[in-house]
Amino acid sequence: MKALTVVTGVVAPMDRANVDTDMIIPKQFLKSIKRSGFGPNLFDELRYLDEGQPGRDNSKRPLNPDFPLNHARYQGANILLSRANFGCGSSREHAPWALEDYGFRVVIASSFADIFYNNCFKNGVLPIVIDEAQIDSWFKEMADNEGFSLTVDLEKQTVTDAQGNLVEFEVNEFRKFCLMNGLDDIGLTLKDADAIKAFEAKRLQQAPWVFGHII
């Protein structure tokens, strides 16, 4: 998992509440368990005018001209701004996989669905909860200023705009540590690989019968 400390970049809008995981990455793309390759199908039903299917050449599909991610001004955005209850619906790690693969490292909303929120931290995406009034303000600024950008500092737990206006956010210390160090659940376990191997070697000597046919 990629570490995240400071993210500065263009902000893209998803100006709607209750964006569910099927909208983020439709169900037909869940056949793969790889973490990569989902970016081209992020928000597939909103982004394209036809129905997407795994294996299709997305470069030849008709784009929805009204969808923000298809606008030149939002190309290269790495921060997504949305509304309440982002990531609701069915549980699927493919949703943060798709966001991260597209290039989004941060999602800002006034609230998140719990399972999606947890999955983001485990897959290199930082979900930030900010009050609705501030989000309204940022949406207005974004509409008025092409190239609107923010800087997110995870260590300081701040979001700063180009004028230096600063907003603080809360994050669990353990999740913060893991994300800043690029540690998912497997990475956390591998940190103690030597201790695990030493325990297994000692246990093998003490109770070899426990290991049975593994020996």
Q: What is the pLDDT of residue 4?
A: 97
Rounded Cα distance between 21 and 44, Å, is: 11
CB of 96 closer than 8 Å to CB of 68? no
Q: What is the pLDDT of residue 192?
A: 64
Each residue's pLDDT tens digit, 60-93: 999 999 999 999 999 999 999 999 999 999 989 9
Mean pLDDT of 110-137: 97
Q: What is the pLDDT of residue 189?
A: 67
- Give the tokens for residue 189: 């376990």
Interhelix angle 94-102/114-122, rounded to 10 degrees, is: 50
pLDDT of residue 196 exceeding 80, the answer is: no
Q: What is the pLDDT of residue 187?
A: 67
Mention the CATH class of domain 6-183.
alpha beta
CB of 165 closer than 8 Å to CB of 137? no
**Does 14 or 190 have the greater pLDDT score?**
14
> Got the DSSP string for 101-132?
HHT--EEEES-B-HHHHHHHHHTT-EEEE--H
**Does 187 or 14 have the greater pLDDT score?**
14
Nearest to 24 by CA among 110, 108, 91, 124: 91
Each residue's pLDDT tens digit, 138-185: 999 999 999 999 999 999 999 999 899 999 999 999 999 999 999 877
**Does 32 or 192 have the greater pLDDT score?**
32
CB of 108 closer than 8 Å to CB of 135? yes
Provide the whole-model pTM: 0.89
pLDDT of residue 215 exceeding 60, the answer is: no
Domain parsing of the chain, residue ranges: 6-183, 184-215
CB of 159 closer than 8 Å to CB of 169? yes
Give percent of the chain with pLDDT exceeding 90.
78
Query: How many residues does this entry show for the chain?
Result: 215
Strands 79-81 and 158-161, by their bridges, are unpaired
Mean pLDDT of 107-113: 98
